[in-house]
A = this chain, B = another copy of it.
Amino acid sequence: MHKELLENIGEKELIKRLAEFMPKNQISDDCALIKARDKDLLINTDSLVENVHFSNETISALDVGWKAVASNVSDLISSGCCKIIGINIGLVVPPKTDWNWIKDLYKGINQALEYFGGSILGGDCSVGKEKVISLTAIGTQGEIKFRRNSCKPKELIMTTGLHGLSKLGLMIKSKKIWNKNTFITQTLIDRSIQQFCKPKLKPKFLKKVLNARPNKNLKTIGCTDSSDGLFQALLDLSIESNCKAVVDYEKIPKHKNWPVGDEWDEYYFFGGEDYELVFSLPLKWAKNLLNVDKTISEIGYFTEGSPTVEFINLKNDNFQKYKSFNHF
């Protein structure tokens, strides 16, 4: 029989192929929706695999626990979740694992749940060759649905914070950054390591969007998180909403000490795991929100056209050579 190996297929193609096994009413976002008589529920699964998503050299068990919760909760928040109910844990660990590692993992999970809300509901533990932490988070769908497919032409594109920091944190922790001669300030180092190890997300985002809403009939906005990088987030919104994102490079918010250069742009746009929200709103709603929250930045707008990301005021045109962050 002809063998078509997964390594030759790639992640994007895999997701496309797996879609044929999904029910037709599946929402395009990472999260799935469970219809209920009172409030709909959001459910999301994310797995962290040792030496793929984390390693003992770069992150502690305590921070892996926090990050496993955060990466799941981020998908709920970016779907408009108003309340985290809890998580189920599917844990795989080698028999040689130190009990202290597991204890710290659970401590980190509980620290994150104290911060984001919700509790451990249940789970399963098994042995295996390498550590896998597969979490399923469940929460309540809030009043406004955040969906990738709901951006519209003429809406402003915004983001809740800085990008590239988590990638820089990883580079520092894995000692890959010291080979470079770039001057990086201690403030930037500390901030990047914190973003890599213990991302705080934006749990109050839904409330802010609700407060800024000019009209109660508006119930859906276009939104996703930047877990796979800012560029991928913009591309996903464009593709799922079938319109063109125009991004103004000069408006992109950067850390005040963020160095200049091609590689720094690459970290910024393709680094991933910053878990900031990337979304679009009609003009009035956007202006209300930008007025009350100075940490949110306007970075561009959507317009009619084929689903792509177009940059204006771009200082280099190397973007075509970049590939987006890919797990495979």
Please report A residues at the B interface, Cβ cutoff 8 Å.
1, 3-7, 9, 11, 14-15, 17-18, 21-23, 26, 30-32, 34, 36-39, 41, 43-47, 49-50, 52-53, 85-86, 88-100, 102-103, 106-107, 109-110, 119-130, 132, 134, 136, 138, 327-328
Closest to A135 in B: B90
Residues of chain B lying within 8 A (CB to CB) of residue A1: 100
Q: Which 3 A-B pairs have the closest CB atoms?
A: A32-B122, A7-B95, A90-B134
Contact B102 A47 (CB under 8 A): no
9 contacts between A and B (CB under 8 A): A5-B95, A7-B95, A36-B36, A37-B38, A45-B123, A47-B91, A47-B92, A52-B127, A88-B136
> For A22, what are the chain B residues with a Cβ–Cβ distance below 8 Å?
120
Contacting pair A46 B92 (CB below 8 A): no
Assuming the contacts A21-B120, A38-B38, A110-B21, asked whether A47 and B15 have C-beta atoms less than 8 A apart, the reply is no
B98 close to A138 (CB less than 8 A): no
Contact B130 A95 (CB under 8 A): no
Closest to A122 in B: B32
- Assuming the contacts A21-B110, A122-B26, asked whether A130 and B129 have C-beta atoms less than 8 A apart, the reply is yes
On chain B, the residues within 8 Å of A98 by CB distance are 3-6
Do A5 and B45 touch (CB < 8 A)? no
**Are B34 and A134 interface neighbours, CB within 8 A?**
no
CB distance from A8 to the nearest CB of B (A): 9
Cβ contact within 8 Å between B92 and A49? yes
Are the CB atoms of B38 and A36 closer together than 8 Å?
Answer: yes
Do B99 and A44 touch across chains, with their CB atoms under 8 A apart? Answer: no
Chain B's nearest CB lies how many Å from the CB of A313?
36
A95–B6 contact, CB under 8 A? yes
Closest to A38 in B: B37
Chain B residues positioned under 8 Å from A132 (CB to CB) = 47, 92, 128, 132, 134
Q: Cβ of A9: which chain B residues have Cβ within 8 Å of it? A: 99
> In the complex, what residues of B have CB within 8 A of residue A99's CB?
4-6, 9, 17
Whole-angstrom distance between the alpha carbons of A18 and B98 in the complex?
Answer: 14
A3 to B18 CA separation, bound complex (whole angstroms):
42
- A318 CB, min distance to chain B CBs, angstroms: 28
- How far, in Å, is A274 (CB) from chain B's closest CB? 18
CB contact under 8 A between A124 and B46, given known A102-B6, A119-B23: yes
Contacts of A4 in B (CB 8 A): 98-100
